Chains A and B, each alone.
Chain A
Amino acid sequence: MSGQGYARENVAMSDRAMTDKDVLAVYDLHKHYPLPRESLFREAGRVYALNGVDLRLGAAGSLGIVGESGCGKSTLARLVMGLEVPTAGRVEILGRDIAAMQGAELRHHRRHFQMVFQDPFGSLDPRQKVGRIVAEPLHVLGGSDAAQRAEMVAAVLEQVGLRASDRDRYPHEFSGGQRQRIAVARALITRPALIVADEAVSALDVSVQAQVLNLLRDLQEEHGIAYLFISHDLGVVDYLCEEVAVMYLGRIVERAPAKALFAAPLHPYTRALLEAVPRPEPGRRARMVLGGSVPAQTGRGRGCVFAGRCPRAAARCRGEEPPLIGHGDGHFAACHFPGDFSG
C-alpha cells in the first residue's frame, strides 16, 4: 500500500481514538413517512416506520437487528447511513451527529461508515467494471491518484478472496457469492469503523452464504470493524453478532447478548420468532404459534405494540406501553410480563 494510503489510515485511526466513543449511537430515533393522499377531503395517512429507537454499538462490536418485514429494520439502516433524515432523534457516528453535517464534511465522514446491500445483482452497477465499483468511495473522497486507488483495489479484492485481476471484469461475469464479495470489498476500501449490512447474505444459496459469513467474521477480527447486521434470519445473526436487538413495529422490544437472548428470551415476540424457525432436525416440535400477521404501520394505538398478537396480553398491555427496561447482564425487554409465556 502506498505511503499516502497509510497516512489516511492513520488519520482514520486517530480519529477513532480521539473520539473514544461508541462507533454508533442512536438516540430516540423516529421516522414517519406521509402516505399519498387518497381523497381531497381527508388528511393524508402516515407510515410510522420507526417509533423511538435507541442503540449503541462499540468499536469492533457487532449488533444484529432482527424482525419481520415492516418492523422498521431497513428504515433504521437507511437512517444510520444518512440516506434519509430522521423525523426526530439523532444518529451519531464516531460521536458526530450525521444529520448536522453537510456537503464535504459529511462526504468525508462517510468513509467511516459503509454499507453492504441485499441484492448481489442489483447493488453493483452493471455498466461499470469491478475496479471502478470497488474504488467508488475513494473517488468521492478524492485525494488519491489512479495508481494509489488501483493498489488499494487490488489489496482489498484479495482480502475478500477475489483476484486483483478481477477488477477488469464486469459484475455479470461473477456468481452471486462473488458479487457479494465485491460489495464487501467496496465497503471495506475506506477502512471504515462501521459496516451496516442490510440482509447482506439472505439472497445467497446456503452453501455460498456460509462463505460470505465466514469472510465477514474474519474481516471483523482482522480490522476491528463494527457491524450493524440486519437480517430476518436468526441463525445468521446468532452466528455473526455478539448482541441482538429484536424489532417489532418500529420499536426495539428486546435487546441482549446473543447467547442470552437465544437461550432465554424475555419478550413473547422473541420467543415466538425463535420457535418459528424451522430447524434441520427430524420430527416436529411443540412451539408457540402466533396468530394473525404484523399489523400495518399506519396507525398508532396505545399500549404495547405486540398486544394484538400476544398470547399473554392483559388489560395493562393494551393501555400502557411497556418501556425497554434492563433485567441484568445487558438484557433489556419491553414487556410487562417478561419471561412469562403462559397464556
Chain B
Amino acid sequence: MSMQQAQPASLLSRLTRGNGFWARALRHRSFLAGGFLSLLLVLMAVVSAFWTPYDPTKMNFRLRFAPPSAEHWLGTDHFGRDLFSIILTGAQNSILVGVVSVAIGLSFGVALGLLASARRGMTEELVMRFSDFAFAFPAILLAVMFVAALGPGSANAILAIGVYNIPVFARLSRGAANAVWTREYILAARTAGKGRLRITIEHVLPNILPVIIVQATIQFALAILAEAALSYLGLGAQPPAPSWGRMLSEAQTLIYKDPMLAVYPGLAIALSVLGLNLLGDGLRDIIDPRLSRRR
C-alpha cells in the first residue's frame, strides 16, 4: 500500500525500494563495487580482443622503461612494450582461466555432489572420500604435479585448476543438497511418486543453485590467483602470451631498475580478485533466503 502513496521519486530510488533481488542488489554497496570491478575485467578482456593502444607484443628498444605519458599511459617495459596494452590483454587470459576451470569444477563437481546426496550410502561415502583425498593436494601442489607431468603451458595449468575445483564443488553441492533433501517439499514430491533423479533435477538443483553461483564467483577469483602463481613460476602461460603472473616474474628481476613494473600487473590481479570476491559475498547476502523470506 505504501508503494502507491509515495511521492514521485527518481528512477534510482524507485529501483532500490522493495524487497526484490535487484532492489536489494542495488542497495548493497560492496556488491555494486564488486560488480563494477568484475564488469571492468570483462570489459578489458572484450575490448583488448579487438583493440589495444599498441600491439602488446611489439618491442621498441628505443623506448625501454619509459615513464607513464600521454602516449604510454602506464609507460613501457624492458622491451619497450606498451604496459597498458599488455595489462589490457592479460585480462583475456584471466577470464579464460576462470571460466574454463570453474566450468570443469562446476560440471563434474556438482554432478558428483548431487549424486552423492541422492544416493547416500556407499556412493556418498565414495564421493566424500574422493574429495577428502583431493583436498590432500592443495591447488598449487596439484598444479605443479600436473604441469610436471604434462609440461608447462596455459592449457595444463587451467586443467589442473579445474580438476582442483571438482572436489570443492562436490563437497559444497553435496552439503547443500543434503539440507534440501531433509525438507518436507521433497517428501511431498516423493509421496507424489517422483523418483530420485527427477527430484534432484526439479527440486534439489534449483534450490542449491544460489549457493553454487556464489561459490563459482569465489572459485573464479581463486583460479585467477592460482594461474597467476603458476605463470609466475613459469609453469603457466608461456611467452609471448600476455599474462599478469608472468609479467610479475619478469618484473621481479628488474625491481632495482623499475619497481613500478611489479606494481601494475599485481594491482590488476588484486583488483580482479577483489571484485569477484565482493561480487560473490554480495550475492550471498542478497540471495540469502533468510532475508528474502518474509514470515
- Which A residues are within 8 Å of any B CB, using their own CB? 81-83, 106-108, 110, 113-115, 117-119, 121-128, 133, 136-137, 139-141, 172, 176, 183, 186
- How distant is B182 from chain A, measured CB to nearest CB, in Å? 9
Are A110 and B185 within 8 A (Cβ)? no
Q: Hey, which chain B residues are within 8 Å of A137, CB to CB?
A: 192-193
A136 to B295, CA, bound (A): 24
Q: Hey, which chain A residues are within 8 Å of B188, CB to CB?
A: 115, 117, 123-124, 136, 183, 186
- How distant is A207 from chain B, measured CB to nearest CB, in Å? 16
Are B203 and A125 within 8 A (Cβ)? yes
Q: Hey, which chain A residues are within 8 Å of B187, CB to CB?
A: 83, 115, 117, 123
Show 5 residue pairs from A and B whose CB-CB distance is below 8 angstroms, ordered by the A residue: A115-B191, A117-B187, A126-B289, A127-B207, A139-B192
Main DSSP-derived SS at the B contact region: helix
Interface bits B179-206 vs A (CB < 8 Å: 1, else 0)? 0000111011111111000000001001
A106-B193, A186-B188 given; name 16 further pairs at CB < 8 Å.
A83-B190, A110-B193, A117-B184, A122-B184, A123-B184, A123-B187, A125-B203, A125-B206, A125-B207, A127-B206, A128-B206, A133-B185, A136-B188, A140-B193, A140-B194, A183-B188
**Count of chain B residues with a beta carbon within 8 Å of a chain A beta carbon:** 19
The answer to whether residues A110 and B192 also contact, given A117-B184, A127-B206 and a CB cut-off of 8 A, is: yes
Using CB atoms, name the residue of chain A closest to B203: A125
Interface bits B156-200 vs A (CB < 8 Å: 1, else 0)? 000000000000000000000000000111011111111000000
Are A172 and B203 within 8 A (Cβ)? no
Using CB atoms, name the residue of chain A closest to B207: A127
Are A119 and B193 within 8 A (Cβ)? no
A108 to B194, CA, bound (A): 11
- Which B residues are within 8 Å of any A CB, using their own CB? 183-185, 187-194, 203, 206-207, 289, 292-295
Q: Hey, which chain A residues are within 8 Å of B184, CB to CB?
A: 117-119, 122-123
Are B294 and A172 within 8 A (Cβ)? yes
Are A140 and B185 within 8 A (Cβ)? no
Are B185 and A124 within 8 A (Cβ)? yes
- How distant is B185 from chain A, measured CB to nearest CB, in Å? 4
Report the 9 A-B pairs with minimum CB-CB distance, sorted nearest first. A107-B193, A123-B184, A117-B184, A122-B184, A137-B192, A125-B185, A110-B193, A127-B206, A140-B193
The answer to whether residues A172 and B191 also contact, given A122-B184, A123-B184 and a CB cut-off of 8 A, is: no
A238 to B126, CA, bound (A): 50
Q: Hey, which chain A residues are within 8 Å of B193, CB to CB?
A: 106-108, 110, 137, 140-141
Contact for B183 among A106, A114, A122, A128, CB less than 8 A? A122
Using CB atoms, name the residue of chain B closest to A176: B295
A108 to B84, CA, bound (A): 67
Most chain B CB within 10 A, of A83, A106, A122, A125, is at A125
A83 to B191, CA, bound (A): 7
Q: Hey, which chain A residues are within 8 Å of B207, CB to CB?
A: 125-127
A139 to B183, CA, bound (A): 20
A133 to B295, CA, bound (A): 20
